[in-house]
Amino acid sequence: MKKILLLFVFVFSSLVSCTQEETTTYYLIRHAEKNLTKKNPNLIEEGIKRANNWATYFKDIPLDAVYTTNFNRTKQTAAPTATHKGLKPIIYKPNKLYTTTFKKRTKGKTTLIVGHSNTIPFLVNKIIGENKYDEIDESNYANLYIIHISGDKITASLQQIN
């Protein structure tokens, strides 16, 4: 009888796990306020404050990975969140991020991506498969794009976090 019960539990749990869709979640933000006088600028005081505010925002959100471009402003924006999560930021090139390898690596996981005013909306549009979002205005550092992918269903939202 125990063997039959164990077999039933095993088969039932296998069926349940096969029918549940994994949800992949991407959070995408632009780097925080930067010094406008340099080629590869650092964050200014207001930007450092915003980067720390992002870390507070993500405090209770489990993250599996943090991606950032290889610029001071994006790395500095990602750093507080990555540090609080015990994650090492992964450097990416915006035009080469959303690949088959990236999709496999992040499937069923929650990922933060830090980029730029032109690359973040481009990436969001690429992920959702439609041209929905325009470039971010140069004065706007508050956009948070959230994408959920479960099976063939993709949802995207835009929030303003100050």
Pairing of strands 110-115, 65-68: parallel
Give yes or no for a contact between 103 and 64, defined as CB atoms under 8 angstroms apart: no
Domain positions in the chain are: 22-160
pTM for this predicted structure: 0.87
Class of domain 22-160: alpha beta
pLDDT per residue of the chain (162 residues) written in tens, 0 to 9: 544 443 444 444 444 444 467 999 999 999 999 999 889 999 999 999 999 999 999 999 999 999 999 999 999 999 999 999 999 999 999 999 999 999 999 999 999 999 999 999 999 999 999 999 999 999 999 999 999 999 999 999 999 998
pLDDT digit string (tens) for 4-19? Answer: 443 444 444 444 444 4
Closest CA to 145 of 137, 136, 153: 136
